[in-house]
Amino acid sequence: MHAPRAKPHGPSIIQLNSVAHHSSAIKQRVVEEVVSNTTLIVTWMENFILYEELGKGSSSVVYKGRKKGTLSYVAIICADKAKRPYITNHVRLSHDLEHPNIACFYEWYETSNHLWLVVELCTGGSLESVIGHDGCLSEDVVRRFGWDLVKGLKHIHELGIIFSDLTPAKILLDGSGILKFGNFCMSKAEGETVEDFFTLFSTSEEAHNEDIKENFSNMRKMLQGSPSYSAPEVLQGSETNMSSDLWALGCVLYYMYTGKPPFYSDIYTELTEMILYQEPRPPRQTVISSSPPSEDFQNLLKGLLNKNPDKRMDWPELLHHPFWKQVLKEDMEEEEHGKEGHQQGKNECEGVGSTSSRIPDHFSQGQENEFPNSHSAIMKSASKISRKLISSQTKSATSHRQSDRRADCQQAVRHTTSGSLKEQQGL
């Protein structure tokens, strides 16, 4: 049952209009939705201050925000209701996640025309924006960033989640240069198929909308992920799984070092042929260094980009690969000096809501019916997943690194814009 609709009482019931930095677009959106807001939404809006717009996509806008009574800044995403099925998927998978390399998801609400998500503010933007500005990264920075991705993805897999569409646009950086996974909109629980994914959406309130049913084949294609980062077996029709996630990880590492994915073409059929039958070119860069990469790095890429999933590098091999020797040594030294960084990271995620993930941009088009009044409907549809997440949840063995260990990574993100949004291919 929906809460009683609140009558508009002018700007005084919503404090957003009193902030000096508000753009006219924010004011217009608030006024537009006050008429049909519920008491719950009005109360929520009174608890947050919205500042400037950080960026926008085709169907969403991101604002800088702050919860009243705290000094904790957040990102507040305003998304069209058409994206609701994909946002629902993000929430069902990410609401229980807590890890230094997974961005925090706090709260979500609905107004008459939009969904509002309160998420962690990642001021470094996306990995895609970093490479767009810098061209490529040194091997040392790739090693540090890569280890962030390994730890985050390992935690995701341990909880029975397949990320499915691992691309640089869905990897975010906080202010100290730590990489964090975001946007679980196209992810799934281990063992789920595209049919399960479709059923989840069609059994929610938008089931009567024929557009979703007509787009089943398009959904299958989207769930394969971005073509440049899709494993060969996925392009041939297999479901995404942990092994295909590791292929995509190899593509991202290659991309960070060279500035381009290992296989790239504007023509889809040509790109598919390259991924299926060609070997990637040896990684080279001319912007930072003309010397070839280390043998350890080349060996790591070769193992992750093996076209045969049965022979592809698995988790034990990845975690014990000699390429990570230096970063593991640094982490061990920091652990000896205590866990202040880990405690600080926990404190940053407290006081707003439950922890999980940030959604950078571009959820695929869904429906325009109303959101469930409570989160229980969403969580019920994901009860099998939630039980698996809770039963298999393990404590992270690594802690936040000290800021002085991040000097090289902070240098790598020096040109990025705060919270910039990028279009995501294929969505």
Q: Using a pLDDT cut of 90, give the percent of the chain over it.
A: 40
Highest averaged pLDDT of the listed ranges 85-94, 211-220, 335-344: 85-94
According to the model, what pLDDT value does residue 234 have?
94
Mean pLDDT of 141-149: 97
Report the 10 Å Cβ neighbour count for 332.
Answer: 10
Per the CB < 8 A criterion, the answer to whether 93 and 382 are in contact is yes
Look up the domain containing 143 and give its range: 47-412
Ramachandran category for residue 176: left, alpha or beta (phi over 0 → left; psi -120 to 50 → alpha): alpha
Does residue 216 lie within any of the structural domains?
Answer: yes
What CATH number did the domain enclosing 265 receive? 1.10.510.10
Q: Known catalytic residues?
A: 165
Does residue 26 lie within any of the structural domains?
Answer: no
User: 369-405 pLDDT, tens per residue?
Assistant: 333 333 333 433 343 443 444 344 333 334 444 444 4
Does residue 22 lie within any of the structural domains?
Answer: no
What residue spans of 10-75 are helical by DSSP H?
A: 24-34, 39-47
Does residue 149 lie within any of the structural domains?
Answer: yes
Per the CB < 8 A criterion, the answer to whether 122 and 103 are in contact is yes
pTM here?
0.73
According to the model, what pLDDT value does residue 211 have?
56
Query: CA dihedral in degrees (350, 351, 353, 354; nearest 10)?
Result: 20
User: 3-32 pLDDT, tens per residue?
Assistant: 433 333 333 333 333 333 444 444 445 444
3-state helix, strand, coil in the chain (%, to 5): 45, 10, 40
Does residue 25 lie within any of the structural domains?
Answer: no
Confidence of residue 46 (pLDDT cuts 50, 70, 90): confident
Does residue 417 lie within any of the structural domains?
Answer: no
pLDDT at 149 over 90: yes
According to the model, what pLDDT value does residue 340 have?
60
C-alpha–C-alpha distance, residues 44 and 65, integer Å:
13
Confidence of residue 179 (pLDDT cuts 50, 70, 90): very high
pLDDT at 246 over 60: yes
According to the model, what pLDDT value does residue 426 have?
29
Mean pLDDT of 310-328: 96
User: Higher model confidence: residue 375 or residue 314?
Assistant: 314
Does residue 20 lie within any of the structural domains?
Answer: no
User: Higher model confidence: residue 184 or residue 10?
Assistant: 184
pLDDT at 164 over 70: yes
For 199, what's the count of Cα atoms within 13 Å in the CB-facing half-sphere? Answer: 8
Q: What is the DSSP letter of 340?
A: H
Ramachandran category for residue 198: left, alpha or beta (phi over 0 → left; psi -120 to 50 → alpha): alpha
Does residue 421 lie within any of the structural domains?
Answer: no
| Number of domains into which the chain is organized | 1
C-alpha–C-alpha distance, residues 112 and 34, integer Å:
9
